[in-house]
């Protein structure tokens, strides 16, 4: 048996070797597989299969659509698959396209090995007697588990300066997947709130 000329330790048989198709192909398969991008259903499945990963190994995780490389101490994200913008189901009193900013949507992105959530769009906000029509909880259905932060995230969002004593409010992105609006009070009833450019790590 000889090894490839690129220093990757991929063995291949020579004419002088005793004919044995199984051992010949086994050597090639074992040599190439850990150097290819291996596909696993999830990180748990990968962990059960690759019990002693080596630096430089790359894997694709199907459940989260993520390419990762083992750096010798842990798995680092190389990139994420394309994440489409997804609609957010709204609670009563909130309607899409506030101030003509588009529908309120989110997507997951990967920056520098870290998963982040981005928002875009705007909402029209309804009031009754100077208070929110129904609730400060913007979404009536929780975001999927993969889009929920590991701890509470508080974010600043813009709002209309019409009928408002301020031009920004805040939202809390909770660990159970709900988005809560804060800052509405007497003298602060902006007709719309915006989310373009709002993002945070998960």
How far is Cα 140 from Cα 54, in angstroms, rounded to an integer? 45
Q: How confident is the model at residue 14 (pLDDT cuts 50, 70, 90)?
A: confident
More confident residue, 102 or 75: 102
pLDDT at 109: 86
Contact 192, 124 (CB under 8 A): yes
| 81, pLDDT greater than 60 | no
The 10s digit of each residue's pLDDT in 95-113 is 999 999 999 999 998 777 7
Segment 24-62, tens digit of pLDDT? 666 666 666 667 888 899 999 999 998 999 898 899 998
Nearest partner of 141 among 178, 108, 106, judged by Cα: 178
Q: Pairing between strand 199-201 and 179-182? A: unpaired
User: Rounded to an integer, what is the distance from CA 24 to the centroid of its chain?
Assistant: 42
Task: Using DSSP, state whether 106 is helix, strand or coil.
Answer: strand
Rounded CA-CA distance 67/69 in Å is 7
What pLDDT sits at residue 102?
97
**In what helix (H) or strand (E) does residue 154 lie, and over which residues does it extend?**
strand 153-158
pLDDT at 8 exceeding the cut of 80: no
73: confidence class by pLDDT, cuts 50, 70, 90:
very high
What's the pLDDT at 5? 67
């Amino acid at each position: 048996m000889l090894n490839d000329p690129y220093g990757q330790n991929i063995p291949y048989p020579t004419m002088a070797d005793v004919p044995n198709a199984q051992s010949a192909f086994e050597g090639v398969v074992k040599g190439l597989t850990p150097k290819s991008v291996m596909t696993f259903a999830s990180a748990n499945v990968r962990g059960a299969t690759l019990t002693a990963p080596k630096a430089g190994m790359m894997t694709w995780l199907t459940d989260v659509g993520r390419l990762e490389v083992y750096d010798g101490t842990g798995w680092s994200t190389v990139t994420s698959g394309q994440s489409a913008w997804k609609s957010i189901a709204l609670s009563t009193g909130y309607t899409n396209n506030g101030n003509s900013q588009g529908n309120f949507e989110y997507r997951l992105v990967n920056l520098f090995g870290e998963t982040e959530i981005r928002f875009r769009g705007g909402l029209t906000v309804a009031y009754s007697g100077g208070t929110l029509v129904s609730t400060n909880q913007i979404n009536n259905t929780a975001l999927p588990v993969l889009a929920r932060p590991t701890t509470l995230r508080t974010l600043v969002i813009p709002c209309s300066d019409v009928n408002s004593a301020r031009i920004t409010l805040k939202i809390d992105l909770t660990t159970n997947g709900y988005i809560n609006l804060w800052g509405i009070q007497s003298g602060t009833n902006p007709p719309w709130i915006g989310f373009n450019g709002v993002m945070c790590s998960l």
